[in-house]
Amino acid sequence: MNMVLSLALFFSLFSAIQAFACPNGTISIPGQHLCVVPVPQAANYNNAIRECDRLGGGVVKIESVFENAILFGILESSFNGSAAYIGVEKSANGKWVYSDGSPLNYTNWAAGQPSTGYCAQIDPSSTKWKSLDCSTSLPYFCGVDGNKFQCPDGWVYSPDTDFCYYLQNFTTPDSIHWQLYNWTTAELNCQKMGSHLASIHSKAENNFIFNLIYYRGPTSSNASPNNCDYSRAWIGLYGNAQIGNSNLWSDGTFIDFRDPSTSAITSAQYWAAHSGACLSYSHWDSFASDAPPNASRYVCKKDSLYRSGRA
């Protein structure tokens, strides 16, 4: 038993350092673009299939002893030690197959199993599989192609927040100066893409946006008449940056975080995140007007496919 748990821990840690990252609340399967979604709400097998399909996947397939060990480790942490459905079922011709109809290439049946029933569970006391009636209500695992959790082309995914971010790319309509936008136009452009200018709710998210701007800057400093304009981008804050007091970001969320190097002000202004590429430190800038020359790139933010499907 200790060996099984050790395997689960090892592969969980191994998956955490892979370049591919599953969203928070899901588990990576090493070597695959597969994210396992533990669903603790008990359901019969047909309802489990429907929910996994809604997320863009299926009841999880177990194709190796290592995957079996990983899922077994989740039973205690996510399901309070309950058994859980796996994506193994008895077909009409009497053969046991995966939930997508493909043949089994790995099995871990307990002694005397499978017996009655057309569905399968993983037993929390032994790591073994047992058959059962499909009308039984159990927690279950969904297996979803990790690519379906990522963002549309041109957007960047943050596993820390489960959101997608879009940094407006540089264009040079006159072949000399970079195209920049006022805050109002930037927000409208984000809305056209089903998003809003980015709201920021933590230090990690703040640093993510600073880095997004910094590492996607132009190779030339002729960004505008003011060559510092290229190193900042509008965020979704029009106000005084006071935390609480019913202040809202443009996406309707409350202001519960402010950049540590930024002070609240008395009047409502337009805000941008400054990456520090031009100055010596990253911070938020505020502007009384968003009219030229106060123009910038912008960062949009919207739900990842996983977050929107889970909501």
Q: DSSP letter string over 75-124?
A: HHHHHTT--EEEEEEE-TTS-EEETTSPBPS---BPTT-S-SSSEEEE-T
Let me know if 46 is exposed, middle or buried by CB neighbors in 10 A (0-12, 13-18, 19+): exposed
Domain limits, CATH 3.10.100.10, in the chain: 2-146, 151-310
User: What is the chain's mean pLDDT, rounded?
Assistant: 83
Which residue(s) pair with 196 in the sheet? Answer: 301
Tokens of 193: 């893409």
Task: Name the amino acid, one letter, at 14.
Answer: F
Asked if 3 contacts 127 with a C-beta cutoff of 8 angstroms, the reply is no
Number of CB atoms found within 10 A of residue 186's CB = 28
Structure confidence by residue, pLDDT tens digits, 92-113: 999 999 999 999 999 999 999 9
Exposure string over 195-220, b if 16+ CB within 10 A, otherwise e: bbbbbbbeeebbebbbebbeeebbee
Asked if 2 contacts 9 with a C-beta cutoff of 8 angstroms, the reply is no
Q: Pairing state of beta strands 163-167 and 119-122?
A: unpaired
pLDDT of residue 214: 79
Mean pLDDT of the 246-251 span:
86
CATH superfamily assigned to domain 151-310? Mannose-Binding Protein A, subunit A (3.10.100.10)
Residue closest to 275 by CA, chosen among 285, 267, 286:
285
Let me know if 7 is exposed, middle or buried by CB neighbors in 10 A (0-12, 13-18, 19+): middle
Residue closest to 198 by CA, chosen among 123, 241, 249, 160:
249
Query: Is residue 234 pLDDT above 80, yes or no?
Result: yes
Number of CB atoms found within 10 A of residue 67's CB = 22
Query: Is residue 119 pLDDT above 90, yes or no?
Result: yes
State which of 27-36, 91-100, 284-293 shows the largest mean pLDDT: 91-100
pLDDT of residue 223: 47
Tokens of 304: 């990842």
Residue 207 phi, psi dihedral angles, 5° rounding: -65, -35
Residue 89 phi, psi dihedral angles, 5° rounding: -150, 160
Exposure string over 222-259, b if 16+ CB within 10 A, otherwise e: ebbeeeebbbbbbbbbbbbbeeeeebebbbeeebeebb
Q: Between residues 243 and 271, which one has the greater pLDDT?
A: 271
Residue closest to 60 by CA, chosen among 154, 139, 156:
139
Tokens of 166: 């879009």
When mean pLDDT is compared across 206-215, 219-228, 265-274, the lowest value belongs to: 219-228
Let me know if 113 is exposed, middle or buried by CB neighbors in 10 A (0-12, 13-18, 19+): middle
CATH top class, domain 2-146: alpha beta
pLDDT of residue 205: 96
